[in-house]
Amino acid sequence: MRMKAAILFEQGKPRPYATTRPLVVEEVEIDPPGPGEIMIEVAAAGLCHSDLSTIENQRPRPLPIVIGHEGAGIVREVGQGITDLNPGDHVITVFASSCGNCRYCVRGRPNICPSGNSARAAGTLVTGTKKLRRLDGTPINHNSGLSLYAQYAVVARRSAVKIGKDIPLDDAAIFGCAVMTGAGAVLNTANLQAGEAVGVIGLGGVGMNALFAAVAAGAERIIAIDTNPMKLDLAKQWGATDTFLAGNEDCAAQVREATDGGLDTVIETAGTVPAMQLAIAITARGGSTISAGLPNINAQVSYLHASLVSEERSILGSYMGSCVPERDLPRLLGLYRRGKLPVDKLKTSSITFDQINEGFDLLSDGVVLRQMLRPNA
């Protein structure tokens, strides 16, 4: 079947992307789903910093590739062996593919299943197949087993979770990455309890969802930190009790003074070395620093080893919010239905393929939260 898709042929092109156009929209061929696979019509796909980092070559990928890892859509076809999904069902996609059988999957940690990493490096689905090719027959690689900057996507069954049709699909799409990553870091990795205090560094889509989750969990104090004053204003409106402008030389000292020595839990979502350094600096004795932002693959952060021991600090990673999608997406959608995760507030605009490169300029400038690509609009 033929469809339109946005293909990345070269990583690391300079800005402005509106001029250099790293994403090229072409008509491509997509094969039907095989055993254990489904085809979905992509209703909406978010422009996320992880996709931007792929464009920037912060995270090298096999090329050419169709990126896009946060989305939702409608099942149009199911492959052999699929009995629990039918054409017409609505699904949220999952960017960390899993096998369901390894020691990580059986221990409830499918987000770190090695099969997902192997498939990502090979540019395949977790089933080992490639479903995309150019009209001249050149194979096109998959991104995170999804490749959602396209009108349709064939994905492994374990890369999709069925949802109710009452959820608008452009809202549902945000749950595929930003909500699971941000809210999951608070509710799962940190296991934040009512009455606790938490800091969130980086107020993009992931950070704002961490903020929403902290409010929903009943945090008594929520410290929001970003380099963008506009985002700090929004955070204040959406439940932050205190805001601080990152980049100020005395930001860490200001936070420590305001919090009597620092916070027990700090969630870093910016994925940069300065943000992580700040997170460690404002974590109190006995506290936990949790990083949910994806940095450059070679980025390194140092810390005082003696303080890690003598102050009983913890430094934790949180990938996909430590989520088990089949378990966590229903409860996160339940919070959404009750108005506790108002992800609709994060949507800056809906865009088409014609605007996708300009959209990544806006994301790089930090002036938007979530732009939603509507590939079939």
pTM, rounded to two decimals: 0.96
Predicted pLDDT at 290: 98
pLDDT at 362 over 90: yes
Domain boundaries of the chain, sorted by first residue:
2-177+323-373, 191-317
Establish whether domains 2-177+323-373 and 191-317 are of one fold: no
Give CA–CA dist 55/281, Å, rounded.
31
What are the φ and ψ backbone dihedral angles of 235, each rounded to 5 degrees? -60, -40
Cis amide linkage into residue 295, ω under 30° from 0: no
The region that residue 11 occupies, defined by phi over 0 for left and psi between -120 and 50 for alpha, beta otherwise, is: beta
Report the CATH architecture of 2-177+323-373: Alpha-Beta Complex (3.90)
Going by C-alpha positions, the residue among 5, 78, 82, 2 that lies closest to residue 40 is 78
The region that residue 133 occupies, defined by phi over 0 for left and psi between -120 and 50 for alpha, beta otherwise, is: beta
Q: How does DSSP assign 271-305, residue by residue?
A: -SHHHHHHHHHTEEEEEEEEE-S---TT------H
Q: How does DSSP assign 142-208, residue by residue?
A: ESTTT--SBSEEEEEGGGEEEE-TTS-HHHHHHIIIIIHHHHHIIIIIS---TT-EEEEE--SHHHH
Predicted pLDDT at 247: 86
Give CA–CA dist 47/56, Å, rounded.
14
Predicted pLDDT at 249: 87
pLDDT at 308 over 90: yes
Indicate the residue type of 198: V
Task: List helix spans (H) across the chain.
Answer: 17-20, 49-55, 103-106, 114-122, 169-174, 180-184, 205-216, 229-237, 251-258, 273-281, 305-310, 325-337, 356-365
Residue with tokens 């404002």: 282
Residues in the chain: 377
Going by C-alpha positions, the residue among 183, 161, 158 that lies closest to residue 173 is 161
Give CA–CA dist 151/205, Å, rounded.
23
Per residue in 311-361, pLDDT tens? Answer: 999 999 999 999 999 999 999 999 999 999 999 999 999 999 999 999 999
Predicted pLDDT at 185: 98
Going by C-alpha positions, the residue among 131, 25, 124, 121 that lies closest to residue 375 is 25
Give CA–CA dist 158/344, Å, rounded.
26
Per residue in 233-285, pLDDT tens? Answer: 999 999 999 999 998 889 999 999 999 999 999 999 999 999 999 999 999 99
Report the CATH architecture of 191-317: 3-Layer(aba) Sandwich (3.40)
Give CA–CA dist 145/160, Å, rounded.
11
